[in-house]
Structure 1
Amino acid sequence: MKKLIKEATIVNEGLKFKGSVLIDNNTIEKVFPYAVPKDFDFTGVEIIDASGLLLIPGAIDDQVHFREPGLTYKGEIATESRAAVAGGVTSYMEMPNTKPQSVTQEELQKKYDRAAEVSPANYSFYMGATNNNLDEVLKTDPTKVCGIKVFMGSSTGNMLVDDEKTLSEIFQNAPTLVATHCEDEATIQKNIAIAKARYGENVPVSRHAHIRNDEACYISSSKAVELASKFDTRLHVLHLSSAKEMSLFSPGTVKNKNITAEVCVHHLWFDERDYITKGNYIKWNPSIKTIKDKEALWDALLSDKIDVIATDHAPHTREEKNNTYFKAPSGGPLVQHSLTAMLEMTNKGVISIEKVIQKMCHAPADLFRIDRRGYIREGYYADLVLIDPNKSWQVSPENILYKCGWSPFEGQEFSHQVVSTFVNGQEVYKNGVVQDGLTGMRLSFLA
């Protein structure tokens, strides 16, 4: 049956206008700006009244950790993708630092097979690079895999690539985009030694921004940019966190860039003052830093130096997070709340809603060259989200869908609420309920 999402306020490609969208099976058949034609045949068409609601393309999150296989006590592809669609995220790209790691084509394929069974959102998975798996990396099909993940700094999963020859060969020969986690390990270890000399094992979490500081980030990010410039690599630098790194990137349209930049919601929302109340619950790698760093990230985002907003969704249990600084893992769950958090910033006048849609929907699709997603266009897949811009709600354990059961946004009131999420034309989420038995598609990419 066809569906007509009728009389919504559509936000798409820098415009905001009243209109309707006709869905046929899994694609957008027609976009009607303003009124549906009087001669439109409504026979056999399901009408969805969207009066007073916003209609946007589904958000695309280019960096998540769903913890399957091997770490499923923290999260699973099924649970975290359900949280994603509840938050208006219709497509995600998941990271390789699971157990086992996705560092062979065989292990990578197992993730795709699992997602095909249980993920209500569309999906792709990064191929992971190590110091000794170049042969496997080079087998990656650029039309079927979003990119190659390179940890140029150690984080959860211990996949540090620090061999200079291997790094050069990856950047020189990568068959697709290279996405990097950039923190310099030597700088971090030096800062850890300084902190331990002062505090012993009882280092306060507020020192996280000093241990994983802007210098550690800049040294590594500048190295990645240097390698990409040398070898003409498609480079995407993930979760930028410091003002210092912004000098490495240029403003412009994402389609015209070979080197692109991402910022995550937590680096835009929190700063080091929040460690007092949030503690390890906002301990991420790279670290949340100063208010000046946060302001610089916003400036770079608004001037198009930074291209994409993502989450680095990385759940851990409360028990793990309630440990001491060195024992508490870095990362936190965000994918259910990223879109509403950024829309909250539109209410505060920090960013326009058109810019939010550009950074969370259009730009990821363009940057990764995703086939027919990220826009409300005729012939594109019907990945769409209806949002009530006037329905306040509060994040609480009762409405959190992450398997870990907590969020750094607990207690936060948001002014926008996701009403419905459509993935390939299927209404997978509606009024607080994820529909069982519906699955997304594997993302494909234009070479």
Structure 2
Amino acid sequence: MKAYIIKNATIVNEGKQEIADVYIKNQRIEKIGTQLSNRGAIEIDAEGKYLFPGFIDDQVHFREPGLTHKAEIYTEAKAAVAGGITSFMEMPNTVPNTLTQELLADKYAIGAKKSLANYSFFMGASNDNLEEVLKTDIKNVCGIKVFMGSSTGNMLVDNEKTLEGIFKNSPTLIATHCEDEATVQKNLKLFKEEYGDHLIPEMHPLIRNEEACYLSSSFAVDLAKKHGSRLHILHISTGKETFLFDHITPLKDKKITAEACIHHLWFAAEDYVTKGNWIKWNPAVKFSSDREQILKAVLDNHIDVIATDHAPHTIEEKMQPYAQAPSGGPLVQHAFNALFELYHEGKISLEKIAEKTAHNLAICFQIKERGFVREGYFADLALVDLNASYEVSRENVLSKCGWSPFEGQTFNSKITHTFVSGHLAYADGAFDESILGERLSFNR
């Protein structure tokens, strides 16, 4: 593996910024300092650019196996790396659902052969696979995923006895999708009675409303408190839910944590008029007041991490009428850019971005030797030019689905280089796929 020296970068790490050189050798950060000698390494001039720990995305849907007409690990991992995401954790609602240890092992085998980024895969829970869940190797698997809301196949866990068993006995972190299915179906029935087949995207946050989210999230929190579980609630979409969480420090002592997603920090209900199904997600993008409260909760540490919930569908699927169009969209390529745009708007600091996209992920999931710019740690790094703009178009979207909810958006920043486990996987628009990413491991 080649050695590199990144010269004169402004390193954003652990609450501060400093200008320094970073020497990368044998996958790791060997030295951080000033005026480091070349040592036979390839030199990268980073003056005026910002060096971040690589974004660790704890929630993606890369659609493999079984749904590869939408996306696949190969294409989506490349899009992630182009966006400065160096590690991802992928969800189990593929086809077949990842509900056995054998199926989980199959996904890891695909990742080892195809992923340019570092990877981990969640073990899925259903109403009847608790025995399989309890076999999960906690040192080599990121966590258990529980859909407490609708999903594909057999993945809706709505049996209270099963939920009690999972929360009481899970050997590791439980990540939950929280929407109360009964409330969603009740709301959908009411809208169909009034509007028939003429449902439109603007109704999405009213059908999958605050009540559905809060009922389920608060139930999960109550279960976790009852059993002392390690709970991580994904994609908080309402302001009300943010008050379910504490902002205690240090984070490593926090048993119940929460995630905000890029689309809930960027879009709001007003955007359905122009964006329509392109911003249809579950949980729904809600109202501007929710968006503001979610950002506030990120800043004051009630919400601990930021992720994407990258979940591609084809253009043809998303162009169907609202009721038939699936929920989800591609985000990994532009997530960092969106956060840097919020920085340019004065809404979040660079230090907070590093904390919520890397440091806190490493702490929450107990990821081994990643998530920080530290000597001895794996060199998972993103070099960013905060003064280089470009417009998102279908021509420059890298996800297999070929579209983005950010089409037409001009971002005022650009990821120029991405290192994955010490390998320069992406530089100035070009990929080097000669070395692939690695499986994440966990200090548990």
Q: Compute the TM-score of the two structures, normalised by the length of structure 2.
A: 0.98
Q: Distance in 2 between matches of 1:202 and 1:316?
A: 22
Cα deviation 1:77-97 (Å, max 9, x = unaligned): 000000000000000000000
Match of 2:180 among 177, 184, 187: 184
* 1:126 matched to 2:122: yes
- AA in 2 matched with 1:110: D
Q: Distance in 2 between matches of 1:43 and 1:444?
A: 30
**Contact 1:156 / 1:329 at 8 angstroms: preserved in 2?**
no
Q: Distance in 1 between matches of 2:139 and 2:39?
A: 39
1:232-271 equivalences in 2 (<5 Å): 232-253=228-249, 254-271=251-268
Q: Distance in 2 between matches of 1:21 and 1:157?
A: 47
Which residue matches 1:205?
201
Q: Distance in 1 between matches of 2:387 and 2:15?
A: 21
* 1:67 matched to 2:63: yes
Show structure 2 runs of 5+ residues with no match. Answer: none
- AA in 2 matched with 1:300: A
Q: How far has the Cα of 1:325 moved from its partner?
A: 1.2
1:298-313 equivalences in 2 (<5 Å): 298-313=295-310
| DSSP-derived class of the 1:398 partner | helix
| DSSP-derived class of the 1:309 partner | strand
Q: How far has the Cα of 1:252 moved from its partner?
A: 2.8
Q: Distance in 2 between matches of 1:43 and 1:142?
A: 39
Match of 2:420 among 419, 423, 429: 423
- AA in 1 matched with 2:413: H
* 1:277 matched to 2:281: no
Q: Distance in 1 between matches of 2:225 and 2:419?
A: 39
Q: How far has the Cα of 1:155 moved from its partner?
A: 3.0
Which residue matches 1:368?
365
Match of 2:166 among 165, 170, 174: 170
**Contact 2:8 / 2:21 at 8 angstroms: preserved in 1?**
yes
Cα deviation 1:184-243 (Å, max 9, x = unaligned): 011001000110011101111100000000000000000000000011000000000001
Which residue matches 1:36?
35
Q: Distance in 2 between matches of 1:383 and 1:57?
A: 6
Q: Distance in 2 between matches of 1:433 and 1:78?
A: 15
Q: How far has the Cα of 1:132 moved from its partner?
A: 0.3
1:388-427 equivalences in 2 (<5 Å): 388-427=385-424
- AA in 1 matched with 2:267: F
Which residue matches 1:432?
429
* 1:135 matched to 2:131: yes
| DSSP-derived class of the 2:394 partner | coil
Q: How far has the Cα of 1:105 moved from its partner?
A: 0.3
Q: How far has the Cα of 1:156 moved from its partner?
A: 4.3
Which residue matches 1:8?
9
Match of 2:289 among 267, 289, 292: 292
Q: How far has the Cα of 1:157 moved from its partner?
A: 4.5
Q: Distance in 1 between matches of 2:13 and 2:29?
A: 14
Q: Number of residue pairs matched? A: 442
- AA in 1 matched with 2:137: D
| DSSP-derived class of the 1:328 partner | coil
| Percent of pairs with identical residues | 58
**Contact 1:155 / 1:285 at 8 angstroms: preserved in 2?**
no
Q: How far has the Cα of 1:398 moved from its partner?
A: 1.6
Q: How far has the Cα of 1:436 moved from its partner?
A: 2.4
Q: Distance in 2 between matches of 1:321 and 1:309?
A: 25
Runs of 4+ residues deviating >2 angstroms: 155-158
- AA in 2 matched with 1:27: R
Q: Distance in 1 between matches of 2:137 and 2:220?
A: 22
Show structure 1 runs of 5+ residues with no match. Answer: none
- AA in 1 matched with 2:42: E
Relative distance call for 1:325 and 1:101 in structure 2 (3 A) is same
* 1:48 matched to 2:17: no
Cα RMSD (Å): 0.9
Cα deviation 1:285-324 (Å, max 9, x = unaligned): 0001111111110111111000000000000001000111
Q: How far has the Cα of 1:158 moved from its partner?
A: 5.1
